Amino acid sequence: MNEISWADFEKVELRAGTIVDVQPFPEARKPAYKLFIDFGPEIGQRQSSAQITTHYEAQELIGKQIIAVVNFPKKQIGPFMSECLVTGCYREDESVILVSPTHDVPNGARLA
């Protein structure tokens, strides 16, 4: 594992956001959703695709708070432009579990 400096870590903007809409993403190579996430007034709404269909139904994601990297450059994923990277942890079967605050925090709150 390569070590990074504290200054490198401080460059990563990990912020809390609330999923406000979820749409299917049938064009994705692996099953995925299109997520629309509110990061509060400073950052606004961003969109991302996420391969989380194994453990999450679209409707249960609405209103869920997640943690995402909001300062990566945009990335074209098929016909969809991803504007942030939603974080999650891989399970043994390579499925993903979302990283989420255990209590409500303001949208846009930075990971401490």
Q: What tens digit of pLDDT does each residue of 49-105 get? A: 999 999 999 999 999 999 999 999 999 999 999 999 999 999 999 999 999 999 999
Regarding beta strands 75-77 and 65-69, do their DSSP bridges make them parallel or antiparallel, or are they unpaired? unpaired
Percent share of the chain, pLDDT over 70: 100
What pLDDT sits at residue 50?
Answer: 97
When pLDDT is averaged across residues 5-29 and rounded to a whole number, the result is 96
Q: How far apart are CA 98 and CA 50, in angstroms?
A: 9
Q: Under CATH, which number does the domain 15-98 receive?
A: 2.40.50.140
What pLDDT sits at residue 25?
Answer: 97
Q: How far apart are CA 70 and CA 110, in angstroms?
A: 10
Q: Which of 21, 6, 7, 9 is nearest to 110 (CA)?
A: 9
pTM of the predicted structure, to 2 decimals: 0.94
Q: How far apart are CA 53 and CA 97, in angstroms?
A: 10
